[in-house]
Amino acid sequence: MTRRRFLDASAILAAGLAVVLLATCVPPRLSPPREKPARLRFGIITDLHYADIDPSGARSYRESLVKLEECIRVMNDQKADFLVELGDFKDQDKVNPAEGKTLSYLRRIEDVFEKYDAPRYHVLGNHDADSISKPQFLKIGRSTGIPPDRSYYSFGVKGVRFIVLDANFRSDGTSYDHGNFDWEDANIPAVELNWLKQELASSSKPAMIFIHHQLDGEGAYYVKNAAEVRRALEDSANVLAVIQGHRHEGQLNIMNHISFYTLKAAVEGSGAGNNSYALVEIDRDFNVTITGFRKAVSIRLPRYSGPGK
**Please, what are the domains in the chain?**
3-9+38-288 (3.60.21.10)
Contact between residue 154 and residue 199 where contact means Cβ atoms under 8 Å apart:
yes
**Tell me, what's the pLDDT at 11?**
35
Decide if pLDDT at 265 tops 90. Answer: yes
**Tell me, what's the pLDDT at 38?**
76
pLDDT band at 306 (very low <50, low <70, confident <90, very high): very low
In one-letter notation, the amino acid at residue 240 is L
**Tell me, what's the pLDDT at 26?**
47
Q: Please, what is the average pLDDT of the chain?
A: 89
**Tell me, what's the pLDDT at 25?**
45
CA angle 256–258–263, rounded 5-degree value: 135
d(CA 206, CA 161) in angstroms, rounded, equals 6
Decide if pLDDT at 10 tops 70. Answer: no
Convert the pLDDT of each residue in 114-165 to its tens digit: 999 999 999 999 999 999 999 999 999 999 999 999 999 999 999 999 999 9
d(CA 253, CA 297) in angstroms, rounded, equals 13
pLDDT band at 305 (very low <50, low <70, confident <90, very high): low
**SS3 state at 231:** helix
d(CA 140, CA 131) in angstroms, rounded, equals 15
d(CA 27, CA 304) in angstroms, rounded, equals 29
d(CA 115, CA 233) in angstroms, rounded, equals 34
How many secondary structure helices (H) and strands (E) does the chain include?
6, 13
* Of 97 and 10, more confident: 97
d(CA 88, CA 217) in angstroms, rounded, equals 20
